[in-house]
Amino acid sequence: MSTARLPWKRNNLTSNSGRDEEEKTDDIESFAKQVRRKFFKHKLAVLGLVTTTLLLSIGLLAPWLAPFQPNEMTAVFGAPPSATHWLGTDQVGRDVLSRLIYGMRVSLFIGFSTVIIYVTFGTLVGMIAAYYGKWIDMILMRLTDIFLSFPYMMVVLVIISMFGANISTIMIVLALFKWPTIAMLVRGSVLSIKGLDYVRAGVALGYSTTRIMFRHILPNALGPIIVNATFGIASTILSEAGLSFLGMGVKSPEASLGNMLHDAQSLTVLTEQQWLWMPAGFIILITVLAINFVGDGLRDALDSK
């Protein structure tokens, strides 16, 4: 009798497991739908998403959208906007609109790439510190405290002065001092998650540490990471613009939104040639506002309360 029932029990367990997987998939889909519905109710977030997508598209299509090459010198110097040059030309005859499009591309690339670097590293540090705890947690968190104690802008300026101002250096230096924040955020999330029943069940079933961390813990800690990364993109774009404005960022002739402002520091340009700095300042303002609106929408949508 017992042997006759075993196949039935195995089939029943298999069917229950299948139902559990289907229910889990349904829960994930319903959560994704809920987040999407809440996000698209946030009008400013939707506007920010559309604006950010448009700016990214313009940056990616820069070679086809820009009427001139960014460093191409024309026959007119410091000319106001016209039918040929919609935003005029700068002091050496370069088309401002073309440099604005390419500068937007460079600034967005630095913003997104820097965030990818420091979010990846900070997430790994935070997860390892929280999951293993004890002396590993103590060492990693003291290292984080050391980086947080540095005078951020002063150290950044010194490092860039030593190694030269270029896109790679700017990305690495900015990422170097932004990862501690995400590491502490992830550590707090993982500490609250690793004590839950499904994580303990994974440990009891003998799952590998990598599987538990990346398939069970990380997906449930993604909300705060995504929100922080979104705001981090806007912050990084502002940091790059500030460094370039001070002459410590992207160097001419390569265009960026920050060094377009750097090239327009004289009083004459500020008062009489507004087309040289107002478009770049306006794009920085719109970009940062749009990305922050997206971050606000994601924060509200991912908040379970």
Per-residue pLDDT of the chain (305 residues; tens, 9 = 90+): 444 444 434 444 344 444 544 555 555 557 678 888 888 888 899 999 999 999 999 999 999 998 988 888 888 887 888 888 888 888 888 889 999 999 999 999 999 999 999 999 999 999 999 988 889 999 999 999 998 888 888 888 888 888 888 888 899 999 988 999 999 999 998 988 888 888 888 888 888 888 888 888 888 888 889 999 999 999 999 998 888 888 888 887 888 888 888 877 777 777 777 888 888 899 999 999 999 999 999 888 887 65
Rounded to a whole number of angstroms, the CA Rg of the chain reads 25
Tokens at 184, concatenated: 């502490």
Report the distance separating Cα 148 and Cα 179, nearest Å: 9
Nearest Cα neighbor of 121 from 183, 213, 168 is 183
Residue 107 lies in a domain: yes
CATH number at residue 154: 1.10.3720.10
Residue 51 lies in a domain: yes
Tokens at 235, concatenated: 């912050």
Residue 74 lies in a domain: no
pTM value is 0.83
Residue 203 lies in a domain: yes
Q: List CB contacts of 222: < 8 A, sequence separation 6 or more.
A: none
Q: Which residues pair with 89 in a beta bridge?
A: 95
Total domain count for the chain?
1
CB atoms within 10 A of CB 230: 22
Identify the domain containing residue 114 by its residue range: 34-63+103-302
Residue 98 lies in a domain: no
Do the Cβ atoms of 151 and 105 come closer than 8 Å?
no
Do the Cβ atoms of 284 and 105 come closer than 8 Å?
no
Residue 122 lies in a domain: yes
Residue 182 lies in a domain: yes
Residue 23 lies in a domain: no
Tokens at 144, concatenated: 């984080």
